[in-house]
Amino acid sequence: MSDVKLVELLTLETLEEGLFRGQSWDLGFRALFGGQVLGQALAAAQLTLPEGRICHSFHSYFLLPGDANKPVVFDVENVRDGRSFSSRRVKAIQNGKNIFYMTASFQTPEKGLSHQSAEMPDVPPPEEIESDIKVFASKSAPKRMCESDGYHKPIDMRTVDYVDPTKAVVQEPKRYIWMKAQELLSGNINLNQVMLAYASDYHFLSTALHPHGVANKDKNLIMATIDHSMWFHHPFEFDDWLLYCAESPFSGGARGLVRGQFFNRDGKLVASTMQEGLMRKIGGEQ
């Protein structure tokens, strides 16, 4: 399993015009990994575009838990192709039911007014941090995740100040993770975006648990992504390191809100994310 390729997972089968099928990986979670559906849905939309259109944003809702043991069918609606922008709606379907919905917008690249006020945090470089999968494997990792560890290896993740996610520790609601794809992406903008969409769901919502001292494997905790949005600001190379800076500005009403920023090694902000998810503690404080 160690040689599994994420590029293959994100390469879809064309069933007919606007209709595609993607295979699934079981990563050892309770349901289908949301990042898989994000990446595959974006890949499906890309297959219907005029040449040269690049995604600048997508907004999505997770409607039902997905089954990691079954493929996913993606139905793409061409909403509009304008002079410089294209819009697509994507439905992800399993067992005849819509489990996910995405609206994505694409643009022909052009120059314009530009600024960046976001600053990249001062953190150790990835070369000085051990990979998460090695650290996690050395601790009491859940059996199902250990059995599926090969499916986690295509993205090298290295968390700054790693804390065992199975432990209930009160922390500041922030997380910094160096990430890069293990496969060569050859400067393919679309593939880089799809890969980053996949990776953007890793360890994201659980950042909202930090100030509450609740482990994300707590048996009395129910967590599920409700929506996930992403904006792409600049082209990037995801086969080189990007720093994912996640923070949670709010939780309440059994929901947690998280936002993230991806910086390249030069400190350029290349993408931003937002997510809200269910964060329900059964029989305890909400």
Q: Do residues 233 and 193 lie in contact, with contact meaning Cβ atoms separated by under 8 Å?
A: no
- Cα(207)–Cα(247) distance, integer angstroms: 6
159, 193, 273, 275: the catalytic one is: 275
SS3 34: helix
46, 201, 207, 273: the catalytic one is: 201
- Cα-trace Rg, the chain: 18
Check if 261 is active-site: no
Check if 36 is active-site: no
- Cα(114)–Cα(74) distance, integer angstroms: 35
Check if 40 is active-site: no
- Cα(142)–Cα(147) distance, integer angstroms: 9
Two tokens, residue 171: 């922390």
CB atoms within 10 A of CB 249: 10
48, 94, 207, 225: the catalytic one is: 225
- Cα(37)–Cα(31) distance, integer angstroms: 12
- Cα(241)–Cα(239) distance, integer angstroms: 7
- Distance linking the first and last C-alpha atoms of the chain: 39
Catalytic residues, by residue number, are 201, 225, 275
